[in-house]
Structure 1
């Protein structure tokens, strides 16, 4: 399967229309239609459902779209790295991370390099540990920021000198806002908003001393900003880590730490035996120097 044909496929998936895709690709409609038919024949799978006005993807087509986007991204990343592999230090560094205030330390390392190497550019994508690990394993990112508990066995890693603190995000007028800290029993009957990943591990359920089915979980989130909007609208209390949502000043929200205190470590990871670009090597050296 040629890279060019994958780009044709993605254009059709994006436009949902053969004519519009052909126009964007500067191809004739019959040529594009033939290329797509050849792709389906090669894979022996139907990739499109051709309606009168719109084309939609089959289940196999949606899978191919996801993989094709990853392939194109990796090819583009590789091209940029090779183009920047001259005598100077330049290029792109890709970092995947969950939501954590520790990104400040990553930014500090980048800022330290900026004066000496102004042509290094940084790209940070957000996601949970599953997303970050998947992108790291596929070579789509150079570094990942993973919170404990994390399986570090297949990575080299650097422990950051900070920890995130678990607590509860709530409205300032919520009944629990009068507490200095929150105990497990305070939450057993309350409507909870929880990270989709948090209950899959052991740390939070052990602290709560309850299984997921014994709690009143009214919603889940993957990005805390969305969770905070649900809190602000009075849907419930969000279990989360501190220093992500600003609760100072005129904010309607406040954060209360858990008691007993619950902290988690933070790691910067990269693939073992990773071959870095010159820019990536300098960034790793700066991380090791600082932390």
Structure 2
């Protein structure tokens, strides 16, 4: 016997009319009539008899109504207690590291839902490169982090986020390259470049260009893009980066050229394998797992 069926029966007993009960329950009258018939068949007895314009409980129906009232009240109270327990249990603080990427929006959406469900939770977001964030994660200064591939995640448990990040070259709008819609390896050879100092990224770009890393004309390294944009605009060098790092803040004096052939990588949510996390951090991780993990 399901709680839903008991609730249907109890509403009919209260309203003394199938049609009125169906309106209260927001279901059709034939559906409710079938549910009542199934319940009577299951119990092997009639629960109502018709008297004029209303349904009257039989002796068995009166007994079941009393029991149903107790069961439904207990069910509601239990749900409320678990809801209150959830709100009390999942309070605390989360520290999150996040790279500059399109997936910053993904983090924002997940946090919006999480703090709506657990309003007592507070959070802190640390922005930086994958290397800096991983260092803080390893020291226990961050609970979880969103990193940009390519990145070595052997020390971490991971959830891959579905939105891909497109790599390209940020050039000055006054550069001869700005007339193009994309950039090929041949066109990039010899161009003064700024890029991440991460070896994983450098090898990714060298493999794409088909040359050793030391043959790329790298004149400078950077971590965050804010200070790079003026250098690109003044044609000091072009900058290899992901498009998501400048989304929504790309000025008119620079232009993003996607790489051709295309390079797209994912972001991953990571946390240390051996570290025991707090209940609130564990629940936050579950939000990502339930949304993105297959």
TM-score over 0.5 for the pair? yes
Structure-1 separation of matches of 2:140 and 2:281:
13
1:194 aligns with 2:202: no
Q: Per the alignment, in what secondary structure is the counterpart of residue 277 of structure 2?
A: coil
Kept in 2: contact 1:220–1:227 (CA 8 A): no
Q: Which has the higher mean CA deviation after the structures are superposed, 138-147 or 240-249?
A: 240-249
Kept in 1: contact 2:151–2:200 (CA 8 A): no
CA RMSD between the two structures: 2.2
Kept in 1: contact 2:171–2:254 (CA 8 A): yes
Go from structure 1 to structure 2 and tell me whether the alpha carbon gap of 1:199 and 1:212 turns closer, same or farther (over 3 Å shift). Answer: farther
The one-character-per-residue Cα deviations of 1:97-152 (angstroms, maximum 9, x if unpaired) are 22212121111111011222122122121232222222212211111222222222
Runs of 4+ in 1 over 6 A off after TM superposition: none
Kept in 2: contact 1:170–1:254 (CA 8 A): yes
Structure-2 separation of matches of 1:214 and 1:271:
36
Structure-1 separation of matches of 2:211 and 2:225:
22
1:131 corresponds to which residue?
A: 132
Structure-2 separation of matches of 1:247 and 1:186:
27
1:122 aligns with 2:123: yes
Alignment size in residue pairs: 207
Go from structure 1 to structure 2 and tell me whether the alpha carbon gap of 1:270 and 1:246 turns closer, same or farther (over 3 Å shift). Answer: closer
1:111 aligns with 2:112: yes
Q: Per the alignment, in what secondary structure is the counterpart of residue 223 of structure 1?
A: coil
2:27 corresponds to which residue?
A: none
Kept in 2: contact 1:109–1:290 (CA 8 A): no
1:283 corresponds to which residue?
A: 284
Q: TM-score, normalised by structure 2?
A: 0.65
1:216 corresponds to which residue?
A: 217
Structure-2 separation of matches of 1:273 and 1:186:
46
Larger Rg: 2
Q: Per the alignment, in what secondary structure is the counterpart of residue 191 of structure 2?
A: coil
Kept in 2: contact 1:198–1:204 (CA 8 A): no
1:155 corresponds to which residue?
A: 156
Kept in 1: contact 2:150–2:201 (CA 8 A): no
Q: Gaps (5+ residues) in structure 2?
A: 1-85
Q: Gaps (5+ residues) in structure 1?
A: 1-84
